[in-house]
Amino acid sequence: MCGIIGYTGTANAIPKMMKGLSVLEYRGYDSVGIAAQENSKTKIVKCKGRIGALEEKLRDQPIEGSHCAIGHTRWATHGGPSDKNAHPHRVGAVTLVHNGIIENYKDLRASLAEKGVIFQSETDTEVAAALINDCFAQSGDPVASIREASEKMKGAFAFGILFEGYPGEVFAVRRGSPLILARGKDGYYIASDMTALLPFTKEYYALKENQIVRLSPGGGRIVLSDGTKIAPQWETTTMTPESAQKGGYSHFMLKEIHEQPGAVVKSVSPRINADGLPDFSSDGIEPAFWQTVKSIQIVACGSAMHAGLVGLRLLEDLAKVPTSVSIASEFRYHPPILPEGSLVIVISQSGETADTLAALRYAKENGIPTLAIVNAVETTIAREADRRIYTFAGPEIAVATTKGYCTQASVLWMIAAAIAHTTGRIDDAQAKAITRSLLCDVPAAIEQMLTLENRYHKIARNLINHEHVFYIGRGMDYALSMEAALKLKEISYIHCEAYAAGELKHGTISLVEPGTPVLAICTEQALLEKTESNIREVRSRGAQVTLIVRDDLPTPPDPAEEVILLPTSSEAATVFAALTAIQYIAYETALLLGCDIDRPRNLAKSVTVE
């Protein structure tokens, strides 16, 4: 959670901080602040609120001629959003910004308080600053003090640090939380992720666990835990500054919904071989591997977990591999009994979600093979999993995931096809039909759904008048309903529940009253009749029903109801079309309500706390 950035070089550091922080805002936006060296003194300007509030504060308290600075945008964990809890925090000679959580901060705080430290904030970060300062007071060596303090801290952290008396130098360290080091024409940078640095450079190095960095205008040195110094091995990102901008759309979420057809093609095509068959060799996964998989445990959070539920249907129906899905934060504390031949698949757009990472580590510790489906390259989850499949959705900036989820589902579909094919459950022709449908029918179906903006708008106009909404569906459509409800809730703040269509009558239907909006998803031909009965049940109790339904219905829908028809060129096309519709409905609803669509309240994009 939280975004951090740092710079040292020949240019003015302040505009760089502001630009980088505005990109990093998706990681948290409760408060924002910078610390910059001005005439060899460190000056801090910080406040509750977003980047605009900091800009205003800087007009009153300008920082002139600084070439070395660190910055932070916060998602509050320890201590509410306030000026005093905003980062950077300074104790003695140490000023720092932090992403992560210091789990033993209470003990550390107590022992530092005994030594006379008076804390100004409720944060664990200030404790970290005090601890490093305490170590620095003894050793007088910044790197040694960071190393010593890191050993005493439990939890996850990435720090950007300025030391009084070290002009032009930024220090950093990471454990658990992500941190990128980068080299530009006019200096060196650190940041929580590369998107923040795209306006300045493409050359980066993803810091490894416990590596300490010492940056000066002339270079960046990495210090390993044993004290050895190494030069970074620079890599070049393929991302462009445009990929992290809105490109004419009013919101990142809308842009990202529209990017889905291309993102699916990018995610699927490298996994189709010259014969048109599913093939993950380019990911280092040979067909023989799939034959060893006897059962699958999918672990993820939020929407990624919902993508896992789509995967479950496919892996069981198509590949006939027993599969279950766990919420990552539950998995560790009640791990299922996994038989020989199990594979744990973790799914994460950001590649940094703490709960998912913990589940991955648990699986590895217990000797279970792991596979990660990740979007953000070179992230911790991608690095630590035994095998990884990237989704190639490109940077996802809106807090609510759309193209991330969509590409996760498409990759899971490819995995199910690969297993089904290598184990002989489907023949070449069937496997080719699936790859073709994912590569051609799905993007076309999404494109088609993107033209129905007016229809989504009309549905949204009704939803905004209600406090409670239901999505219902069976089978795959129940999985889609869960994602639909989450999307609507998180960006429009309207309470929405997803129900298995047949389950509603076992209690929850008592909440349905005249006018209650019920959106029914029906992508599966075989379940049409049953779902229709459930729709009748709610309709007869006065519910306002919206149908998101296959375009090959045997009987035409009631003209009184709103109907979104889904193309049926293939099974996958229908599912991805429904997905696009539910995303767009959530978007239009939040837009009408004037919500902050890309930055919903209380949320952050990358959840690096457990």
Residues annotated as part of the active site: 2, 605
Give the nearest distance from C-beta 585 to ligand F6R in angstroms. 14
- Binders of ligand F6R among residues 471 to 490 (CB under 6 A) are 486, 490
Opening angle at CA 125, ends 124 and 130, nearest 5: 100
Q: Among residues 272 and 604, whose Cβ is nearest to ligand F6R?
A: 604
349 binds ligand F6R (CB under 6 A): yes
Query: If we measure between CA atoms, which residue out of 290, 534, 253, 288 comes closest to residue 400?
Result: 253
Q: Among residues 305 and 547, whose Cβ is nearest to ligand F6R?
A: 305
Q: Among residues 516 and 583, whose Cβ is nearest to ligand F6R?
A: 583
Choices 167-175, 213-221, 222-230, 349-357 (CB under 6 A): range interacting with ligand F6R? 349-357
Query: If we measure between CA atoms, which residue out of 160, 252, 236, 168 comes closest to residue 198?
Result: 236
What DSSP assignment string belongs to 193-250?
Answer: SGGGGTTT-SEEEEPPTT-EEEEETTEEEEE-TTS-EE----EE----GGGGS-TT-S
Q: Among residues 150 and 349, whose Cβ is nearest to ligand F6R?
A: 349
Choices 89-97, 150-158, 281-289, 343-351 (CB under 6 A): range interacting with ligand F6R? 343-351
Residue from 348, 523, 544, 570 binding ligand F6R (CB under 6 A): 348
Please say whether the beta carbons of 282 and 270 come within 8 A.
Answer: yes
C-alpha 353/C-alpha 220 separation (Å) is: 28
Give the nearest distance from C-beta 505 to ligand F6R in angstroms. 29
304 binds ligand F6R (CB under 6 A): yes
Give the nearest distance from C-beta 470 to ligand F6R in angstroms. 19
Residue 258 belongs to what H/E stretch? helix 252-258
353 binds ligand F6R (CB under 6 A): yes
- Binders of ligand F6R among residues 125 to 184 (CB under 6 A) are none
Give the nearest distance from C-beta 25 to ligand F6R in angstroms. 15
Give the nearest distance from C-beta 346 to ligand F6R in angstroms. 8
Choices 46-54, 228-236, 275-283, 347-355 (CB under 6 A): range interacting with ligand F6R? 347-355
Lay out the site mask for ligand F6R across 376-405 (x = CB under 6 A, - = otherwise).
------------------------xx----
607 binds ligand F6R (CB under 6 A): yes
Return the SS3 of 95.
strand
Return the SS3 of 285.
coil
Helices (H), 115-210: 124-139, 142-152
Locate tokens 């209690």: which residue? 507
302 binds ligand F6R (CB under 6 A): yes
Query: If we measure between CA atoms, which residue out of 254, 253, 270, 256 comes closest to residue 391?
Result: 270
Please say whether the beta carbons of 347 and 319 come within 8 A.
Answer: no
211 binds ligand F6R (CB under 6 A): no
Residue from 350, 531, 580, 583 binding ligand F6R (CB under 6 A): 350
Q: Among residues 302 and 311, whose Cβ is nearest to ligand F6R?
A: 302
Structure token pair of residue 534: 């459930």
Residue 187 belongs to what H/E stretch? strand 187-191
Locate tokens 């910055």: which residue? 71
Binding site for ligand F6R (CB under 6 A): 301-304, 348-350, 353, 356, 400-401, 486, 490, 607
